[in-house]
């Protein structure tokens, strides 16, 4: 479980830094899934991000609204590896 936790935290932090946003919870509360705020509230653009991730990074994330922002939920599992 620590591998998946570390992967989720690392991946979530990487996305949050690239997008200049934040994680929705403290890393100590993350298991194998991490929620990251998107850098836009434009739902069309958010869906485009969701579409581009599988094409470019072989991963898919659901986009969902939270209060006045849009977020993604990223799953880290044993078969995932970090490629930057």
| Residue 25 maps to a domain | yes
| Residue 53 maps to a domain | yes
Residues paired with 75 in a beta bridge: 33
Using CA atoms, how far apart are residues 8 and 5, in angstroms rounded to an integer?
Answer: 5
| Residue 84 maps to a domain | no
pLDDT of residue 37: 97
CATH number at residue 27: 3.90.1150.10
Summarised one tens digit per residue, pLDDT across range 23-42 is 999 999 999 999 999 999 99
Q: Which regions of the chain does DSSP assign to beta strands (E)?
A: 33-37, 63-66, 69-75
| Residue 83 maps to a domain | no
73: which 2 tokens? 């939920």
Domain count, the chain: 1
Residue 46's Cβ-count burial label (10 Å; 0-12, 13-18, 19+) is buried
Structural domain containing residue 41: 2-75
pLDDT of residue 31: 92
């Amino acid at each position: 479980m620590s591998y998946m936790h570390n992967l989720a935290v690392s991946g979530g932090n990487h996305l949050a830094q690239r997008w200049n946003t934040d994680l929705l919870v403290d890393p100590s509360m993350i298991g194998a899934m991490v929620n990251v705020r998107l850098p836009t509230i434009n739902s069309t653009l958010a869906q485009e991000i969701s579409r581009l991730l599988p094409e470019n990074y072989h991963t898919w994330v659901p986009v969902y609204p939270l209060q006045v922002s849009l977020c993604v939920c990223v799953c880290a599992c044993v078969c995932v590896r970090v490629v930057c």
